[in-house]
Amino acid sequence: MKYYIVAGEASGDLHASNLMKELKSQDSKAQFRFWGGDLMQAQGGELVKHYRETAFMGFITVLKNLKKIKANFSLCEKDLLEYKPDVLILVDYPGFNLRMAKFAKANGIRVHYYISPKIWAWKEGRVKKIKAYVDRMFTIFPFETEFYKKHNYEVSFGGNPLLDAIENRPNKNESFEHFTQKNDLSDQPIIALLAGSRKQEIERVLPVMLDVVTNFPDYQFVVAAAPSITKEFYAQVAAGTNVKFVYAQTYDLLQQSKAALVTSGTATLETALLHIPQVVCYLTGGGRLLFAIGKRLLKVKYISLVNLVMDKLIVKELIQHTCNKDMIAQELSKILFDKKYRNQMLANYKLLHEKLGGAGASARFAKMIVEDLQK
C-alpha cells in the first residue's frame, strides 16, 4: 500500500520513523512519501519537505512567513493528488495537518491521525474538525481516550511509542567515559539542557538556563542541540559561557546526566522515562499580557506531559515569571542534593512508566493501520 505521512517537527520525525519501520514489517509492499526528517528518510521512501523548512512557531513568526506557509499547503495538496496514497497519516502538527485532513477527505483520501493534537490543552474546538475530517484517530496517552469520549468520538489507544524509542536507543549501554571522550567533555557530572528544537523557544529559554551555570561549578552543563539548528546560532545564544553542545544525541546525553533543565513538551516525558530528575522551564513570547491570555485559554492544570499523565505535580514547573535564575537554581539544587526529594521523583517516574504501558506501541499502531486499510 501507499502511505503519505506528514510530520512537522523532530518528535514527529522520531515517532513516524518507528511507525514506518513497523508498517514495513506488516506490509511487505509498503511505499512511503512524506514530509518529515532524517529519521524518516532513513526508513526509505521519498522526502518532499524537511521539517526544518516548515517549523514556524509563534504568531509573529507565522505572519512573517505566510507566503511560505501558503506555498507549503499548495505543494502538499498537489503532491497528495499526484501520489494518490491509500492513506494520509498525519502526525500531530495541527496547524498544518488539520487543513490537510480537510483537503484529503474532500478528495476521497482516507485520513488517519497518529498522535493527537493537544486539543485537550487548548483549542478544544478543533475536535469538530477532527470528527469531520479524520477517519481514525490513534492516541498515545490514556487520558485522551476520556477526552474524546466526552465528545462522542471513538479513538484507538495503543500505548506510547516513546517507550519503544527509548528501549531501542542504540547506545543504551554506553559508558560515561566513552560518551564524554567522544564529545570532548570533561569528567565532571553532567547537567543536560533541553531548550527545544525551534529557534524562537531556544532564544527565549536557553539564556535563562545558562544563567545558573556559575551556581554549580562542580558540574558541566551540556546542551542537547537540535539537528535542524546551526552551530553558529547556538554559539550566538550561548556567547560568554563555557557550555558544550552535542548534536543528535539527546538520549545519550540524558542517560549520562545527573539532572536536566527541560522545556515543556515531549522532552519532559523522555527525560522522565530515562529516569533523570528534571526541572521544567517554560517561557512564552509576547510578555505578560499574551501569557495571561494564553493561561486563560489553557484547559489543563499542568504544562508538562509528566504531570498531565500522572494528574499530579511530579516535576516542578517554572513558568514565565517564575522561570528565572534564582528559582531554577533552587529547584536544581533540590533534585541534585536533597536525596529524599530526588528519590521521590524517581519513584514517581516508575509509576509513570507503568501507566503508559509496555514497549511495542509502534507495532500495535502499525497493525491497526494496516488492518483498517485492508477492510
Task: Report the range of poorest mean pLDDT among 114-118, 129-133, 248-252, 295-299.
Answer: 295-299
Residue 168 has what pLDDT?
Answer: 86
Same domain for 366 and 326? no
Same domain for 10 and 116? yes
Residue 66 has what pLDDT?
Answer: 67
Same domain for 88 and 142? yes
The whole-model pTM stands at 0.79
Same domain for 137 and 217? no
13: number of Cβ within 10 Å: 27
Find cell 523522555 and name the residue. Answer: 270
Tally of helices (H runs) and strands (E runs) in the chain: 18, 13
Same domain for 28 and 149? yes
CATH assignment at residue 274: 3.40.50.2000
Same domain for 294 and 346? yes
Same domain for 205 and 235? yes
Statement: residue 291 has pLDDT above 70: no
Statement: residue 55 has pLDDT above 70: no
CA distance 251 to 11: 13
- DSSP letter, residue 182: H
The pLDDT tens digits of the residues spanning 170-217 come to 999 999 999 999 999 999 999 999 999 888 899 999 999 999 999 999
Same domain for 107 and 161? yes
Q: Cα dist. 101→67, 76, 98, 109, 135 in Å?
A: 21, 11, 5, 9, 9
Number of domains within the chain: 2
Q: Cα dist. 250→12, 166, 218, 283 in Å?
A: 15, 11, 22, 21
Overall average pLDDT of the 259-284 stretch = 94
Same domain for 158 and 200? no
Could you give the strand order of the β-sheet that contains 111-114, starting from the edge strand earlier in sequence? 46-50, 31-36, 2-7, 87-91, 111-114, 136-139, 156-157
Question: Percentage of the chain surpassing pLDDT 70?
Answer: 92
Mean pLDDT in the chain? 91
Same domain for 254 and 109? no
Same domain for 142 and 220? no
Instruction: Quote the domain boundaries for residue 32.
Output: 2-166+359-374
Same domain for 82 and 191? no
Residue 89 has what pLDDT?
Answer: 98
